[in-house]
């Protein structure tokens, strides 16, 4: 009986070692994938910074002004004037919808006793 207990204990230790070994490799693989994702995020942030810099460079007011001057005949753009803008009180807001009266109450004969 004692030898059977030793064998079962030995097999349990072997199984626990195999499980720990397997979990270690799964953890190492997950850490490697996480590191790859972090690298991809860093690359995407760097690309985004470059794109933002390019966008700011291309939208410089002097560059846009020169492009508008070069393409004036084709686009027909005119400079903005203050009289092109309206005031807030000139905006026609829609009237709120009227709620329908479903059960009217007759208040003229409510106080009179017949």
b vs e for 97-113, b when ≥16 Cβ sit within 10 Å of the residue's Cβ?
Answer: eeeeeeeeeeeeeeeee
Give the whole-angstrom CA distance, residue 68 versus residue 52. 22
Q: How is the chain split into domains, by residue range?
A: 2-72
Half-sphere exposure of 49 (CA within 13 A, CB side): 6
In order, the DSSP letters of 91-107 are --PPPPPPPPP-S----
Render each residue's pLDDT in the chain as its tens digit; 114 residues: 889 999 999 999 999 999 999 999 999 999 999 999 999 999 999 999 999 999 999 999 999 989 888 888 888 877 788 888 888 888 888 888 888 888 888 777 655 555
């Amino acid at each position: 009986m004692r030898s059977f207990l030793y064998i079962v204990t030995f097999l349990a230790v072997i199984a626990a070692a195999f499980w720990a070994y397997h979990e270690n490799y799964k953890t190492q693989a997950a850490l490697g994938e996480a590191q790859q994702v972090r690298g991809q995020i860093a690359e995407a942030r760097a690309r985004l910074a470059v794109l933002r810099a390019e966008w700011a460079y291309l939208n410089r007011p002097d560059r846009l002004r020169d492009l508008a001057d070069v393409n004036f005949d084709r686009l027909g753009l005119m400079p903005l004037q203050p009289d092109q803008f309206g005031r807030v009180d000139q905006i026609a807001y829609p009237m709120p919808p009227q709620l329908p009266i479903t059960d009217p109450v007759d208040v003229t004969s409510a106080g009179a006793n017949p």
